[in-house]
């Protein structure tokens, strides 16, 4: 039997079970072998019947002295019951809706049962316990029992039954990890790890098997990332000399002083750009930490050396905002800045004293191709076939880090040199995640806020305090401030049972606020389903102070900079992750005024309160990210479906030391064999992993 053998060739797996297994992603023997337990139950210790206690789990070894079947008098539910006896006493076990068990478990049978004891009028009894006839090698009880991810019609009991005979044979699967690593890290071999993860001799062995597979998956991910980095470093880049005088001139006209963290990150980026190897760096900074200024310093350096810069953002709103900000910073250097989005094309011509000139797309593209336009800012429209640069040297990406060599090449007219890449993110990433998800990027971190920025005061608002909060918001607006209201969805959901049915809809919230709560104030609405022109119009009115309140979905999360807004209200705060809530909070406090974030929630769940309390108490996004990962897990922090990383590996990310170890071992191999040609099996596994995992 091979790992590629279809499960249809296994005994007891007919067409019905094949369909069910497909729901779990299992089509072959190999996929079945790597369908790992998500937890274990230790049923290895048996308890004498006389020592069984109410509401405690126990495993009993005994003999069936009587069995019967019948139906309950009130609800007419079928059942089977047995009387089980050992040397210390007797106890009844009952199974509902399984009357056939009375024929299967006969008088005189020696069996094991595991379950929780409950008390009835007739004494202690076990309801629907796990059972198994005694054999030399029990599967379902009297051992450490694996519990698997299940689907309808495929129970853990059935999976154990199917797997056991396969694992009793020689497993025809090649070892992936080099023997020296297995020995050095004291890991189980692959065959031993497979047996012990499914049918461990002890909980300790189960943990050792899990550690082996956790290490292996982290190691392969690191190999994949480091191989990409090594491949990129073979490309020819553009060496851009550091222009200290231009940087000093730019900084001398800023209304603030750079923080030490901004200076450090700028230096790291400029040193990278001096090399003839393409830079591949992630600039990570909390909301409002000043990433755009650092990126502009890099852009100015490239431009002063005679090159062009592409600056890409995920939304038209954010692209337009970067266009405004970068144009102001570049004004003194007579650098023309272009904006290219789905709808709007224009140039901020510094030669015309900073005026914005509407221009046809054709003319904008011509200026870019001739090299007359030094910075082009836009959405994904930048990587369309028609966009051509004369001498592109630097690509800056905001909140979209996965940008390959092929996409960079699409931005270049000459395919010889690969431009430098600077990615930016406002989502603080715990180090274990950064190493695993962005391991092919160098990391620069702005870990301090500008001194002039005031702390946003954050408060939890329960339903009974809602009216007080509305009064407070009114007072802020009287002072001339503005407020955001964030809602989790757009309109009434059809699924009344859905968790989203409890969330506030933007449309409903807007109507309530302008009719009931603030009838004398101007309320606007913004959501992702609106046309681009509508969004721009709404944001323009709000920015100019023509609206007091903006009700929005999470479309407001990144890149909206309204310095006059001092209140952020988040309806159904429990619906959002901590990282997202922190992003919302960062939309206020961007001006000179004291700002506030009000978390409206009606949830009484302890886990929810714990999460929201972490936001209230935390001022630093990096501390918050660590807390978020501890509370919710790695998968929820970034969205494991988006990554394509299995749960098992997500859990492994909790072990910081293991992540570091896997990376060091991967580094050692890549340093000796950058394209893995000397390790064909590892190359095959890494290739397979690249198809499954899409780190975005």
Give the residue-averaged pLDDT of 112-127.
91
Block residue for tokens 């730019």? 250
Task: Return the HEC string of 146-161.
Answer: EECCCECCECHHHHHH
Distance between CA atoms of residues 324 and 346, nearest Å: 11
Contacts of 495 (CB under 8 A, 6+ apart): 501
CA angle, residues 521, 522, 524, in degrees to nearest 5: 140
CA distances, 46 to each of 56, 67, 90, 133, 202 (Å): 13, 22, 14, 14, 15
DSSP one-letter code for 488: S
Determine contact, residues 554/487, Cβ cutoff 8 Å: no
Determine contact, residues 197/171, Cβ cutoff 8 Å: no
- 124 pLDDT higher than 80: yes
DSSP one-letter code for 332: G
Determine contact, residues 296/330, Cβ cutoff 8 Å: yes
Between strands 130-133 and 280-285, the pairing is unpaired
pLDDT at 169: 84
pLDDT at 500: 40
- Residue 126 phi/psi, 5-degree rounding, is -110, 125
Distance between CA atoms of residues 578 and 286, nearest Å: 13
Kindly state the helix (H) or strand (E) to which residue 444 belongs, with its residue range: strand 442-446
- Residue 598 phi/psi, 5-degree rounding, is -110, 120
Least confident segment among 25-34, 619-628, 664-673, 681-690: 619-628
Give the residue-averaged pLDDT of 159-168.
92
Q: What proportion of the chain, given as a percentage, has pLDDT over 70?
A: 87
pLDDT band at 300 (very low <50, low <70, confident <90, very high): very high
The tokens of 389 are what?
């640069």
pLDDT at 259: 92
Compute and round to an integer the Cα radius of gyration of the chain: 31
CA distances, 28 to each of 107, 167, 174, 199, 395 (Å): 40, 15, 16, 20, 44
Indicate the SS3 state at residue 566: strand
Distance between CA atoms of residues 150 and 156, nearest Å: 7
Contacts of 191 (CB under 8 A, 6+ apart): 170, 171, 173, 175
Determine contact, residues 177/681, Cβ cutoff 8 Å: no
- 641 pLDDT higher than 50: no
The tokens of 366 are what?
């011509």
pLDDT at 115: 93
190-198 and 156-167 helices, crossing angle to 10°: 150
> For residue range 278-288, what is the model confidence (pLDDT) as tens digits?
998 989 888 77
Half-sphere exposure of 391 (CA within 13 A, CB side): 13
Distance between CA atoms of residues 626 and 158, nearest Å: 39
pLDDT at 361: 86
pLDDT band at 494 (very low <50, low <70, confident <90, very high): very low
pTM value is: 0.69
pLDDT band at 74 (very low <50, low <70, confident <90, very high): confident
- Residue 609 phi/psi, 5-degree rounding, is -60, -40
Half-sphere exposure of 443 (CA within 13 A, CB side): 18
pLDDT at 306: 95
Mean of all residue pLDDT scores within the chain = 85
Determine contact, residues 625/637, Cβ cutoff 8 Å: yes
> For residue range 419-447, what is the model confidence (pLDDT) as tens digits?
999 989 877 676 666 777 677 778 888 88
> For residue range 456-484, what is the model confidence (pLDDT) as tens digits?
899 999 999 999 999 999 999 999 999 99
Give the residue-averaged pLDDT of 147-171.
90
DSSP one-letter code for 186: T
- 650 pLDDT higher than 70: no
pLDDT at 649: 64
Distance between CA atoms of residues 21 and 49, nearest Å: 38
> For residue range 183-209, what is the model confidence (pLDDT) as tens digits?
999 999 999 999 999 999 999 999 999
- How many angstroms separate the first and last alpha carbons of the chain? 37
Kindly state the helix (H) or strand (E) to which residue 311 belongs, with its residue range: strand 308-312
Distance between CA atoms of residues 423 and 312, nearest Å: 9
Distance between CA atoms of residues 357 and 339, nearest Å: 10
CA angle, residues 574, 579, 584, in degrees to nearest 5: 75
Q: Which domains does the chain have, with CATH numbers?
A: 1-41+145-173 (no CATH), 45-142 (2.40.50.140), 174-234+647-696 (no CATH), 244-446 (3.40.50.300), 457-618 (3.40.50.300)
pLDDT at 640: 41
Between strands 57-71 and 78-86, the pairing is antiparallel
Determine contact, residues 643/437, Cβ cutoff 8 Å: yes
pLDDT band at 591 (very low <50, low <70, confident <90, very high): confident
Distance between CA atoms of residues 320 and 377, nearest Å: 8
pLDDT at 533: 79
Between strands 482-486 and 549-552, the pairing is parallel
pLDDT at 186: 95
pLDDT at 630: 66
pLDDT at 451: 74
pLDDT at 178: 93
Block residue for tokens 């769940």? 605
> For residue range 308-363, what is the model confidence (pLDDT) as tens digits?
999 998 877 788 888 888 988 888 888 889 998 876 667 766 555 567 778 888 88
- Residue 510 phi/psi, 5-degree rounding, is -60, -45
CA angle, residues 283, 288, 290, in degrees to nearest 5: 50
Number of H helices, E strands in the chain: 25, 23
Handedness of CA 27, 29, 35, 37 (dihedral sign): positive
Determine contact, residues 83/62, Cβ cutoff 8 Å: no
Least confident segment among 236-250, 290-304, 604-618: 604-618
Indicate the SS3 state at residue 442: strand
More confident residue, 43 or 620: 43
Least confident segment among 13-27, 160-174, 647-661: 647-661
pLDDT at 403: 56
pLDDT at 210: 92
Q: Residue 161 CA to chain centroid, in angstroms?
A: 35
> For residue range 357-403, what is the model confidence (pLDDT) as tens digits?
788 888 889 999 999 999 999 888 787 768 889 999 999 998 765 55
pLDDT band at 404 (very low <50, low <70, confident <90, very high): low
């Amino acid at each position: 039997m091979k790992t590629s053998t279809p499960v249809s060739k296994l005994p007891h797996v007919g067409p019905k079970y094949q369909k069910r297994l497909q729901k779990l992603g299992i089509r072959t023997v190999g996929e079945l072998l790597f369908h790992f337990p998500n937890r274990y139950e230790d049923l290895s210790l048996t308890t004498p019947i006389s020592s069984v206690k109410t509401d405690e789990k126990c495993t009993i070894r005994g003999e069936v002295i009587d069995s019967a079947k019948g139906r309950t008098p009130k609800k007419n539910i079928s059942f089977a019951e047995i009387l089980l006896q050992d040397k210390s006493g007797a106890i009844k076990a009952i199974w509902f809706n399984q009357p056939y068990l009375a024929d299967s478990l006969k008088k005189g049978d020696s069996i094991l049962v595991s379950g929780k004891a409950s008390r009835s009028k007739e004494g202690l009894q076990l309801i629907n316990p796990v059972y198994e006839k005694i054999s030399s090698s029990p599967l379902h009880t009297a051992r450490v029992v694996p519990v698997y991810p299940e689907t309808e019609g495929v129970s853990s009991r059935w999976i154990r039954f199917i797997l056991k005979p396969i694992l009793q044979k020689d497993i025809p699967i090649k070892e992936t990890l080099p023997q020296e690593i297995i020995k050095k890290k004291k890991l189980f071999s692959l065959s031993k790890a497979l047996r012990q993860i499914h049918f461990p001799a002890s909980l300790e062995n189960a943990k050792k098997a899990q550690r082996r597979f956790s290490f292996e998956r982290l190691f392969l991910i690191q190999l994949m990332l480091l191989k990409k980095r090594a491949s990129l470093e073979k490309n020819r880049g553009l060496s851009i000399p550091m222009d200290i005088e231009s940087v000093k001139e730019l900084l001398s006209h800023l209304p603030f002083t750079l923080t030490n963290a901004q200076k450090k990150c700028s230096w790291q980026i400029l040193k990278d750009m001096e090399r003839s190897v393409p830079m591949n760096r992630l600039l990570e900074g909390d909301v409002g930490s000043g990433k755009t200024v650092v990126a502009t310093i890099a852009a100015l350096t490239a431009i002063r050396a005679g090159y062009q810069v592409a600056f890409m953002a995920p939304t038209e709103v954010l692209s337009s905002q970067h266009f405004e900000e970068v144009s102001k910073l570049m004004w003194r250097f007579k650098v023309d800045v272009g904006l290219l989005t789905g709808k709007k094309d224009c140039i901020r011509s510094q030669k015309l004293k900073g005026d914005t000139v509407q221009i046809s797309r054709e003319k904008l593209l011509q200026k870019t191709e001739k090299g007359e336009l030094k910075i082009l800012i836009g959405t994904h429209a930048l990587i369309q076939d028609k966009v051509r640069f004369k001498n592109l040297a630097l690509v800056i990406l905001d909140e979209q880090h996965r940008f390959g060599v092929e996409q960079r090449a699409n931005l270049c007219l000459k395919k010889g040199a690969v431009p430098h890449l600077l990615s930016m993110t406002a989502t603080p990433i715990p180090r274990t995640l950064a190493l695993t998800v962005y391991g092919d990027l160098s990391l620069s971190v702005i870990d301090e806020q500008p001194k002039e920025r005031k702390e946003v005061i954050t408060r939890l608002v329960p339903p009974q305090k809602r009216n007080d909060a509305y009064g407070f918001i009114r007072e802020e607006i009287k002072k001339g401030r503005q407020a955001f209201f964030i809602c989790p969805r757009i309109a009434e959901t059809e699924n009344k049972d859905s968790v989203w049915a409890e969330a506030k809809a933007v449309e409903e919230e807007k109507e309530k606020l302008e009719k009931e709560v603030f009838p004398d104030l101007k309320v606007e609405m913004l959501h992702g389903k609106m046309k681009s022109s509508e969004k721009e119009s709404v944001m323009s009115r709000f920015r100019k102070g023509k609206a007091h309140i903006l009700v929005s979905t999470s479309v407001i999360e990144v890149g909206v900079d309204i310095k006059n807004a001092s209140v952020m209200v988040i309806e159904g705060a429990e619906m959002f992750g901590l990282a997202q809530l922190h992003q919302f909070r960062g939309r206020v406090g961007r001006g000179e005024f004291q700002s506030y974030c009000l978390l409206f929630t009606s949830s009484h769940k302890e886990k929810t309160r714990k999460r929201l309390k972490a936001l209230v108490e935390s001022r630093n996004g990096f501390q918050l990210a660590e807390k978020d990962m501890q509370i919710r897990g790695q998968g929820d922090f970034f969205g494991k479906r988006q990554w394509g990383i299995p749960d098992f590996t997500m859990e492994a990310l909790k072990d910081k030391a293991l992540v570091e170890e896997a990376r060091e071992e991967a580094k050692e191999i890549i340093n000796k064999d950058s394209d893995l040609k000397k390790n064909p099996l590892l190359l095959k596994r890494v290739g397979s992993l690249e198809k499954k995992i899409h780190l975005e």
